[in-house]
């Protein structure tokens, strides 16, 4: 029985993906915000401004995002070294396809003066 359980465990380890892997390495900025990030869908933004959502990358994400349920919040997982202007350009595009509830994913951090 132990052998079978062990085999099952290895099988699930190999096949299951608990969280979908990130399309690229993203380090969110630190923040003192205390709201947990619990939005079901995540839009990834890399340090050089590349967008990724599930399997699609680049400007095709807007078409994929437009099919989403607009009542659910969307969280943006952007790299800390992303130019803030790129984020500022992204927000009106998201608003144009009807996404109004946005949250920026941050890492918890204590203190920190601007």
Partner 1 sequence: MFAFTPPRARRKPSLTPMIDVVFLLLVFFMLAARFGQDMALPLSTAGGGDVAWNGAPRLITVQPDTLSLNGAPVTPQTLTEALPALMPTPEAPVLLRPGVMTDLARLVAVIDALRAAGFTHLIVVE
Residues that bind partner 1 (CB under 8 A): 1-2, 5-6, 9, 12-13, 18-19, 28-39, 75-76, 78-85, 87-89, 91-92, 94-96, 99-108, 112-114
Q: Shortest Cβ distance from residue 31 to partner 1 (Å)? A: 5
The two structure tokens encoding residue 31: 């923040």
Between CA 75 and CA 51 the distance in angstroms is: 13
- Which pair of tokens denotes residue 89? 């350009």
Closer CB to partner 1, residue 6 or residue 60? 6
Instruction: Supply 38's token pair.
Output: 């619990």
CB of 101 to partner 1, least distance (A): 8
The whole-angstrom separation of Cα 49 and Cα 85 is: 10
Pair 83, 45: CB distance under 8 Å:
no
Which residue, 7 or 63, has its beta carbon nearer to partner 1?
A: 7
| Nearest CB to partner 1, comparing residues 34 and 55 | 34
- Closest contact distance (angstroms) between CB of 32 and partner 1 is 5
| Rounded distance between C-alpha atoms, residue 17 and residue 106, angstroms | 23
Residue 106 CB, nearest approach to partner 1 (Å): 5
């Amino acid at each position: 029985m132990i052998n079978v359980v062990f085999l099952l465990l290895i099988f699930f380890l190999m096949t299951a993906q608990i969280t979908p892997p990130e399309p690229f390495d993203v380090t969110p900025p630190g923040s003192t915000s205390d709201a947990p990030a619990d939005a079901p869908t995540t839009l990834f933004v890399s340090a050089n401004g590349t967008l990724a959502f599930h399997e699609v990358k680049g400007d095709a994400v807007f078409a994929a995002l437009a099919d989403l349920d607009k009542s659910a919040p969307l969280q943006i997982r952007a790299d800390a070294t992303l130019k803030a202007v790129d984020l500022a350009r992204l927000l009106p595009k998201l608003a144009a396809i009807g996404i109004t509830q946005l949250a920026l994913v941050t890492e918890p951090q204590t203190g920190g003066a601007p």
